[in-house]
Amino acid sequence: MNILVIGASRGLGLEFVAQYRDEGAAVTATARNDVGLARLHALGATALRLDVTDAASAAALSAQIAGQSFDMLIVNAGVYGPRTQGLETPAQAEFDAVMHTNVLGPMRLLPQLAAALAPGARLAVLSSRMGAMAGRSSNAGWLYRASKAALNSVLTDTALALKGRAICVALHPGWVRTDMGGDGAELEPARSVADMRRTLASLTPEQHGAFLNHDGKPLPW
Ligand SMILES: NC(=O)c1ccc[n+]([C@@H]2O[C@H](COP(=O)([O-])OP(=O)(O)OC[C@H]3O[C@@H](n4cnc5c(N)ncnc54)[C@H](OP(=O)(O)O)[C@@H]3O)[C@@H](O)[C@H]2O)c1
């Protein structure tokens, strides 16, 4: 297995790298600072510097992975942004940071990474139930919600483009104890990532384009 994880300096991305390395996979992973790159090196991954909000950095990735063919691509990098409780308008810079990371980043990377996928590869974006319109009962974090709803649209369009070439899904990792999820979250990263790895490993072509919970159950958009 040859795996690429985008945004793996800490949290769920780093846990994906640790678990895939444990099972003996070849892993290439990205981080945007030296601390993150050192963590990836220590796990035996090929570590590449990438800031998904930087067009030049994203454009340089293709050359860095030239000749590689990935069986699994996980686009994990994400930010939450302002922790609003109601309809508090984000500052322009907050809006740009969240949308550039969570939406424009994948829109820059997915077209170029499609060419680096092995036939029948699996492609996952880390989305969130918070982006689902169905059954929404809170508007807390509305900028993050809007960004993940947009990411779900990006995944749907990517799935249309890659039909028959890769199985593409949006994954909800659960509410996980990372810097983003906080100490009060329900799941350990190890458990969430173990579930998502199992879900990814057992994907069938019928699940192409789906929105899935970490345990593989389908989620409404
Ligand atoms: N934790 C949860 O409960 C939860 C729930 C639903 C969905 N998710 C999603 O799961 C994914 C991972 O979340 P997490 O909990 O692991 O979050 P986290 O602990 O905050 O880690 C976020 C990761 O994204 C990277 N990143 C942020 N901006 C980046 C940029 N511009 N370029 C490259 N990498 C960047 C961070 O790198 P740096 O170290 O350089 O900042 C870090 O590796 C995110 O997409 C998140 O939205 C998480």
| Mean predicted confidence (pLDDT) in 161-175 | 98
Q: Whose CA is nearest to atom 44 of ligand 1?
A: 78
When the pLDDT of each residue in the chain is averaged and rounded to a whole number, the result is 98
SS3 category, 164: coil
Tens of pLDDT, residues 125-166 = 999 999 999 999 999 999 999 999 999 999 999 999 999 999
Q: 154 C-alpha vs ligand 1 centroid, how far in Å?
A: 18
Residue 8 per-residue DSSP state: -
Percent of the chain whose predicted confidence (pLDDT) is above 90: 100
| Mean predicted confidence (pLDDT) in 35-62 | 97
SS3 category, 127: coil
What is the per-residue DSSP string for 174-192?
-SBSSTTT-TT-SB-HHHH
Degrees (nearest 5) of the Cα angle 211, 176, 88?
Answer: 80
Which neighbouring-strand residues pair with 48?
30
| 107, 154 contact by CB (below 8 A) | yes
Q: 78 C-alpha vs ligand 1 centroid, how far in Å?
A: 4
35 sits in which H/E element: helix 34-42
**What is the number of other CB atoms lying within 10 angstroms of the CB of residue 163?**
13
Q: What is the pTM of this model?
A: 0.99
Number of continuous H segments (helices) and E segments (strands) in the chain: 7, 7
What would the two tokens of residue 11 be?
Answer: 């949290």
- The C-alpha atoms of residue 214 and residue 202 are separated, in whole angstroms, by 12
Confidence bin at 193 (pLDDT 50/70/90): very high
| 78, 100 contact by CB (below 8 A) | no
Tens of pLDDT, residues 77-99 = 999 999 999 999 999 999 999 99
- The C-alpha atoms of residue 144 and residue 84 are separated, in whole angstroms, by 10
Q: According to the model, what pLDDT value does residue 198 have?
A: 98
Q: Are strands 210-213 and 166-172 parallel, antiparallel or unpaired?
A: parallel
Confidence bin at 112 (pLDDT 50/70/90): very high
Q: According to the model, what pLDDT value does residue 17 have?
A: 99
Residue 129 per-residue DSSP state: G
What are the sequence ranges of the domains in the chain? 2-213
Q: According to the model, what pLDDT value does residue 63 have?
A: 93
Q: 8 C-alpha vs ligand 1 centroid, how far in Å?
A: 8
| 12, 176 contact by CB (below 8 A) | yes
Q: According to the model, what pLDDT value does residue 87 have?
A: 98
| Mean predicted confidence (pLDDT) in 34-53 | 98
* Substitution site in 127, 151, 178, 192 for ligand 1 pocket (most atoms within 8 Å of beta carbon): 178
* Substitution site in 6, 79, 100 for ligand 1 pocket (most atoms within 8 Å of beta carbon): 79
Confidence bin at 67 (pLDDT 50/70/90): very high
The CATH fold assigned to 2-213 is Rossmann fold (3.40.50)
| Mean predicted confidence (pLDDT) in 95-114 | 97
Q: 11 C-alpha vs ligand 1 centroid, how far in Å?
A: 7
